Chain A
């Protein structure tokens, strides 16, 4: 459903010039992007839906100020994140703020969980509904600066440059934070990713094939 960049700028131009009904078409590919961005921040579905509506309304009202240098998706994400922050301040979820992990960005010392017997995770395990729920919970528990990078890169599929632009940080920092975020998720989810059929580990399989 993605619209080609060129087509998209033409669409934006026409909307700004007065064909406002086309705005519906413009935002269709980004409905989920905006919702998930806010949901992972506010952790409440109704709040996220309201925030997504506000984001789109804001985008409509300020479309004139959108400059073609940024991608429309990146611009939308920025508005969505501001909306999410605004709502967070309102709700004051301070009590739920996860513990910050020491933050020297140059240090790459995040260690994953080490286990040897879950090398072969059955595909069916990834199909399980509760695993997806666990993943959402683990994402929620990530400290904000790691979570936002992971959400944009791995959940919403933005590339490194788009993620960096949306967050106002450089690409190197995107890489460092993404790595840490993934390692934290790996650590948190290992118990659930564990194969239910012990003894079928890849080690022996490989050797005896």
Chain B
């Protein structure tokens, strides 16, 4: 199986999620070995995934948890009364 760049791009997500079947995986890897363009695209996409998974990308507002549980406490207390 020989892939051109456009085909490789279609499989970048599947590649990063390790979901390609062995034959396709081999073809993608072979292409990546010799193609700087696709390797660069792959790397940048991988870096974006590092960022999306980074806990610091989305942070909870200060005091969020306390306020949430205080509110819940009130609702639970009301529920217990009824």
Contacts and interface: CB of A to CB of B under 8 A. Distances in A.
Interface string B32-61: 000011011101110111111110111011
Contact of B48 (A57, A109, A185, A202): A185
Interface string A15-41: 000001101100100011001100100
A135 B36 contact: no
Contacts of B71: 53, 56-57
B44 A121 contact: yes
A179 B11 CA distance: 8
B6 A186 contact: no
For chain B, the bracket of interface size reads: 35 or more
B1 interface: no
Nearest to B43: A119
A164 to B, nearest CB: 14
B60 A112 contact: no
Interface stretch (A2-10, A73-81, A92-100, A150-158): A150-158
Interface residues of A, number: 54
Nearest to A119: B40
Interface string A117-134: 111110000100001100
Consensus secondary structure, chain A interface: helix
Contacts of B68: 31, 49, 52-53, 56
A92 to B, nearest CB: 24
A31 B60 contact: yes
Given A49-B67, A111-B9, 15 more contacts: A20-B80, A45-B61, A52-B68, A57-B71, A60-B72, A108-B10, A112-B12, A113-B41, A118-B44, A126-B54, A150-B52, A154-B53, A179-B10, A183-B13, A202-B43
Interface of B: 6, 9-10, 12-14, 16, 19, 36-37, 39-41, 43-45, 47-54, 56-58, 60-61, 64-65, 67-69, 71-73, 75-76, 79-80
Interface of A: 20-21, 23-24, 27, 31-32, 35-36, 39, 45, 49, 52-53, 56-57, 60-61, 108-121, 126, 131-132, 135-136, 139, 150, 154-155, 157, 175, 178-179, 182-183, 185-186, 189-190, 193, 202-203
